[in-house]
Amino acid sequence: MRKRRRGSLALTLLCATALLSAPGLLSGTAFAAPDPQQGKSLDQVRKDIEDLYREAGTATDAFNLAEGETKTQSAKIVEIAKLVVAGQARITGLKSRAGAAARAQYRSGGLPPGAQLALSNNPVQFLDGSDRLRQGEKATSDLLSELNRTQSDLQQYAKDASAHWDTLEANRLKQEASKKQIEEKIKAAEELESKLEAEQKARLLQLEQEAQYKAQTAWLSSGALKESTGAAATDAGKRAVQYAAGQLGKPYVWGAEGPGSYDCSGLTSQAWLSAGRGIPRTSQEQLRLPKVAVKDMRPGDLIIYFDDASHVGIYVGDGAIIHAPRPGRNVTMAGAGSMPIKAVVRPDA
């Protein structure tokens, strides 16, 4: 427990040091310097930018979900296509067998050999022919039943394929709508930032760090970690954390799953995949994983943020997470309480 307090304190001091060493903070320059382009305080501009990126994050989740569904439906259509090919080949074989039987019947004067023997005056041939006739009738009945069943299967395959195509098209439209929304939100946020001067951009970053520091400090002060059980990471959890740590400094790109860039859930899903456990792709789907209390969380657990579950990070211990924040930022370490926590989930519960 003492080690954890030292770790949490170290993280808090790290955040504070970053803020205090940032240019302009000790020079008396106000954080809320007015933005002449917008007529708003710089802090309000920061909030507007964060809101836009959060909305882009929500749309990114919708895009990723639709993309995953598209891949699933595409795979099902390919599977159905293979079944159709196999069914058609089976029907061809059955028709060939039926044709062979018909040709044999024609050559024997319209009666199959079994029927001819059944009509024989020789008692032995009659009994033998009757048996063959019954066998032939059963074979013909089985052949027709199998042909009908295979044709019925093909009709069902056609219906299934049509349904999957409809779902595929619906997901494509969802992807396009989400992509458009993502691009619009990111463009709007970038335009807001582009109107700021270099000094204002530097102060904007300071404001962002200050907001995170205040939130983390308030979270720690609330006693969120005082009752922490200090559970050790599992082997899989350790591998997931190691993977995430290896991605520090790589850029955020929406929809990316590595290895050169990531979005928030792309990072967490790949981290756990590297640990040998596949988990859902989006933060909203990751929210469905088994939940644990904050006091019981351990390294490797995922922390889901905001009411709409639009962001996720991987807990690394000592009150810190590694996450891919937003466009324009890189994979980084941050305070676990620097954003509103919705839930903590455990991929290897």
Of residues 196, 264, 267, 334, which has the active-site annotation?
264
Prediction pTM value? 0.64
Residues listed for the chain: 349
Q: Give pLDDT, residue 58.
A: 86
Per-residue DSSP letter, 323 = E
Lowest mean pLDDT among 53-57, 142-146, 174-178, 340-344: 142-146
Does the pLDDT of residue 123 top 60, yes or no? no
40-44, 155-159, 299-303 — most confident range: 299-303
**323 catalytically annotated:** yes
Distance (Å, whole) CA 307 – CA 292: 17
Does the pLDDT of residue 46 top 50, yes or no? yes
Of residues 179, 203, 239, 323, which has the active-site annotation?
323
Distance (Å, whole) CA 244 – CA 340: 21
What is the pLDDT confidence band of residue 5, given thresholds at 50, 70 and 90? very low
Whether cis (ω within 30° of 0) applies to the bond prior to 123 is no
Distance (Å, whole) CA 209 – CA 249: 17
Q: What is the pLDDT of residues 193-239, one digit of tens each?
A: 888 888 888 888 888 899 999 999 999 999 888 877 778 899 999 99
**15 catalytically annotated:** no
Assign 320 to helix, strand or coil: strand
Does the pLDDT of residue 338 top 80, yes or no? yes
Element (H, E) at 321: strand 320-323
Distance (Å, whole) CA 173 – CA 167: 10
Residue 300 contacts by C-beta under 8 Å, 6 or more apart in sequence? 233, 234, 236, 237, 238, 240, 241, 272, 275, 314, 315, 346, 347, 348
- Decide: residue 66, CB within 10 A, 0-12 exposed, 13-18 middle, 19+ buried: buried
Of residues 281, 311, 326, 346, which has the active-site annotation?
311
Average pLDDT of the chain, as a whole number: 80
Does the pLDDT of residue 310 top 60, yes or no? yes
